[in-house]
A and B are shown apart, each in its own frame.
Chain A
Amino acid sequence: MNNNNEYKKKEAELIRLNRALRMIAACKQLVIKIQDEKELLKKICQIFIKRGGYRMAWIGYAKNNPEKSVTPVACAGFENGYLKTINITWADTERGRGPTGTAIRTGKTRFIADFKAAGNFSPWLKDALKRGYASSISLAIKDNVNKKIYGALSIYSDKIKAFNKEEIVLLEELLSDVAAGITIIRLNNQKKKAIKNLAISKNKINRQKELINSVNEILKMLLRDGSEEILAQKCLDEAEKLTGSKIGYIGELNKDESINILAISNSGWKNCRMPLNEARKAWRGMMLRGIRSSVIKNKKTIIINNISPSPEFGPKPKGHPVIKNMCAAPLKDEKNTIGAVILANKEKGFTPEDTEIMEVLGAAVVQVLKHRRMEEYSKQILRSNKDLEQFANMVSHDLRAPMVNINNYAQLLARRYKEKLDAGANDFINYITGGIIQMSQLIDDLLSYSKLSTKSEPFKTVDCANVIEETLETLKPAIEKNKAVITYVKMPKIQADKTQMRQLFQNLLDNAVKFRGNKPPKVHISARKQKNKWLFSVKDNGIGIDPKYKDYIFKMFARLKEDDAKKEGTGVGLAICKKIVERHNGEIWIESKPDKGSTFYFTIPMA
């Protein structure tokens, strides 16, 4: 009888072991076959329920957060909300000293033969018994090679003492394999991700390359002297090529908020009956509405991939394709939106990559057009400068010719008939010649003023001491006549137009001597470094001016005394000085008080 019982017991254990072996073999098969981590864990749990006949199995992952929480990632069997109630951790606290928490913390298997008898299970006992769990085993999922514990597998049975030692050894071996499987799956995933990322970067680099090539093509065209129209068309063609859209245009915002077409898609337009040239003309002053209005007002690129035919998109000429999707990018200047690039009908719709392409090419359109327009503008300025110069030369010649005759004949009259005329008549003759000489001076001054912009030389190294010496030579008669003393200290070499610097010093020194007080004029010129420029000063002891005129005197024809026109000159001299200094990117100003002398300051940047 005893023997019989012993035999039956052994037989039952063998059956159980055999079942465990088959269960484990099935799990190992899964580890090899399944590439998805979650699926693998779920299937393993299911095998324990279906083949092992246990009540519930779940796998929890250990989180490396401060709470050291355990998150269920898979489960099978009669769970019935149990996992939501357990709230366990793998920290060494009350809720961490249960079987699962301990298995994770220690890496060792925890086997509870009977929940009712176990001390550490009290927090969960009620919920476990309610679901018919009587005993459990918790095994760490431990990758022995990498010394890493992922979490734990816990299996619940409705019988007490449901697990024996041989089974536990087999299970531990299985979980070691599962852990290795997880490691491999994760490595594989990382590898796949890396390959995918590489493909994405390669793709991105290729797109950037294409974009750079396009911009390059556009710039080449700019250098080849392409017209505004050709340049805009090139930008549109490149945008269409890169995005693969089928129709589009580039529009520029007018001051009156209408839009002019700069370029229309060649390919997209070919089915329209209206010739392209006419279309360009027809779309001058298009109303600002629909997508072009939103893109210009919001200053952001817009993608619309599902357009249903709507009157908002306006009437189209015959042959115009139906618009299915659109992408519109604003053309941005430094501050303002000056127009838009609008593309439509891309197969499968526009993507964020298209946005990037359109924004880059949009910036290219703006810069290229700006450059071309600046070129045109400077050509025009050059032309009008040349016209102005011719005009000034003509005026000076044609005015001078009659003046020469008036003056000469007036003087001839005085010379030959002085004795026969009375004092009044001789005075009148003097008035004539005085007026003519002043007029002639004025014309000469005006001519030199106009030449400042038309006849300017490129800057060269100029020795200011040299310039002052030459100027003193020119002014010698006036200096001697007024017994003036002009001194200067060490002068720098600067980058400047020598003729103009001579003119500048000559006008300033001439004024200093001309507007003298009672004492003989004393003038001192000095220069000192100030940051990245030279500060020059020309100080005199002359009559000075009221500070309220300090800006006025630099204006054209500015004169302070009506009755002394001959002494004061034409009022162009300081205007010339101001223009010369400004042409050299400097500033000029005066500090003065009546009867206390004047000091003129001007700056010239260092090279």
Chain B
Amino acid sequence: MKKDERPIILVADDNKEDYQLAEEAFKEVGILDSLIWVKNGEELMDYLLLKGKYKNSKDAPKPSIILLDLNMPKKDGRETLKEIKEHPDLCRIPVIVFTVSGAEEDINYCYKAGANSYIRKPLNFSQLVDIFRTTAKYWLETVKLPL
């Protein structure tokens, strides 16, 4: 796999520990150097729209999938999800909501807004690894994604 063909997994999460945990779990799956971290919805939109500190497109390669936390400062996941899915170009990027919330309202809202999957963060690390293995297998190897 060439360097520029490496799949990009864009992780939007305000919490460093959460991001690092995802990184550790992906490591166990065998996916390295694919994760890029943005800290909130605003930063995520800047990244996708090549604005602000992501003006230079070299710093912001197009992601294969987005892992989106719901509760973030500035612009939260719900709003960001809606913005992405209403955007003519960005709407095709698969968005996987990845959150601690198990509330029915959140689940309903996210699928209605166009989320491609909704995953509740598990309590156990082994489950987390299983989830990411399945996620990677499905979204990065099985399905055909838009270019």
Residues of chain A touching chain B, judged by Cβ–Cβ distance below 8 Å, are 393, 396-397, 400-401, 403-405, 407-409, 411-412, 415, 433, 436-437, 440
B21 within 8 A of A: yes
Chain B residues near A400: list those with CB within 8 A: 100-101
Q: Is the interface of B mostly helix, strand, loop or mixed?
A: loop
B24 touches A404 (CB 8 A): no
Tell me which residues across on chain B come within 8 A of A407, comparing CB atoms.
123-125
B143 in contact (CB, < 8 A): no
Whether B124 lies near A401 (C-beta < 8 A) is no
| Distance (whole angstroms) from the CB of B122 to the closest CB of chain A | 7
- B103 adjacent to A405 (CB under 8 Å): no
Give min CB distance, B5 to chain A, whole Å. Answer: 30
Give Cα A405 to B125, complex, Å. 9
Given contacts A397-B100, A397-B101, A397-B103, contact A403 B17 (CB under 8 A): no
In the complex, which residues of chain A have a beta carbon less than 8 angstroms from the beta carbon of B80? none
List of A residues within 8 angstroms of B21 by Cβ = 405, 408-409, 412
In-complex Cβ contact of A404 among B71, B103, B105, B121 (8 A): B121
The minimal Cβ–Cβ distance linking A491 to chain B, given in whole angstroms, is 28
For chains A and B in complex, what number of residue pairs have CB atoms within 8 angstroms?
45
Q: Nearest chain-A residue to B104 (Cβ)?
A: A455
Binding site for A on B (CB under 8 A): 15, 17-18, 21, 24, 71, 100-103, 105, 121-126, 128
In-complex Cβ contact of B123 among A393, A396, A415, A437 (8 A): A437
- Determine whether the beta carbon of B123 is less than 8 Å from that of A403: yes
Beyond A400-B101, A409-B125, 17 additional pairs, beta carbon < 8 A = A397-B71, A400-B100, A401-B71, A404-B100, A404-B121, A404-B123, A405-B15, A405-B18, A407-B123, A408-B122, A408-B123, A408-B128, A409-B21, A411-B124, A411-B126, A412-B24, A440-B123
Q: CB-nearest residue of chain B relative to A404?
A: B121
Contact A412 B18 (CB under 8 A): no
Chain B residues closer than 8 Å to A440, beta-carbon distance: 123
A398 CB to nearest B CB, Å: 9
CB neighbours of B122 from chain A (8 A) = 404, 408
Q: Report the bound CA distance from A585 to B24 in whole Å.
A: 52
> Could you tell me the distance between the alpha carbons of A411 and B122 in the complex, rounded to whole angstroms?
12
Shortest CB distance A566–B (Å): 15
> Shortest beta-carbon distance, A540 to chain B, in Å?
30
- In the bound complex, what is the Cα–Cα distance between A205 and B18 (angstroms)? 81
Whether the Cβ atoms of B17 and A409 lie closer than 8 Å is yes
- Shortest C-beta distance, B88 to chain A (Å), equals 33
Nearest residue, chain B, Cβ from A451: B104
Closest chain-B Cβ to A131's Cβ sits at a distance in Å of 112
